[in-house]
Amino acid sequence: MSDLPRAFGPAVMQAVLRSSAEDFQVTELPAFAPSGDGEHLLLTIEKRGQNTVQVAKWLAQWAGVGEMAVSYAGQKDRHALTVQRFSVHLPGKDSPDPASFAPEGVRVLEAARHNRKLQRGALTGNRFTLVLRQVQGERAVIQTRLEQIAARGLPNWFGEQRFGHGGGNIGQALAMFAGRRVRRDQRSILLSAARSQLFNQVLAARVAAGNWDSALEGEVWQLNGSRSVFGPEEFTSALAERLAGFDIHPSAPLWGEGELRSSGAARELEEQALADEVALRLRAGLEKAELRQERRSLRLKPDGLSWQWLGEDVLQLRFALPPGCYATALVHELGEAVDAGQAARARTPLAGNADEAVDTPAG
Q: Give dist(CA 78, CA 63) in Å, integer.
A: 22
| Residues that are catalytic | 77
Largest CA distance in the chain: 61
Helices 139-152 and 327-334: crossing angle in degrees, nearest 10, is: 130
Q: Give dist(CA 127, CA 308) in Å, integer.
A: 16
Q: DSSP letters of 63-116?
A: HT--GGGEEES----SSSEEEEEEEEE-TT-PPP-GGG---TTEEEEEEEEESS
Please enumerate in sequence order all residues whose Cβ is within 8 A of that of 111, keeping only pairs 6 or more positions apart, or say none.
Answer: 41, 42, 43, 44, 95, 98
Nearest by Cα to 298 from 259, 357, 246, 336: 246
Q: Give dist(CA 46, CA 53) in Å, integer.
A: 14
In the chain, the amino acid numbered 193 is A
What is the helix (H) or strand (E) element at residue 131, kind and residue range? strand 123-136
Q: Give dist(CA 56, CA 321) in Å, integer.
A: 24
Q: Are 321 and 128 in contact (CB under 8 A)?
A: yes
Q: DSSP letters of 176-204?
A: HHTT----HHHHHHHHHHHHHHHHHHHHH
In the chain, the amino acid numbered 344 is A
Q: Give dist(CA 148, CA 151) in Å, integer.
A: 5
Query: In b/e form, how buried is each residue of 227-244, taking b as 16+ CB within 10 angstroms?
Result: eebebbeebeeebeebbe
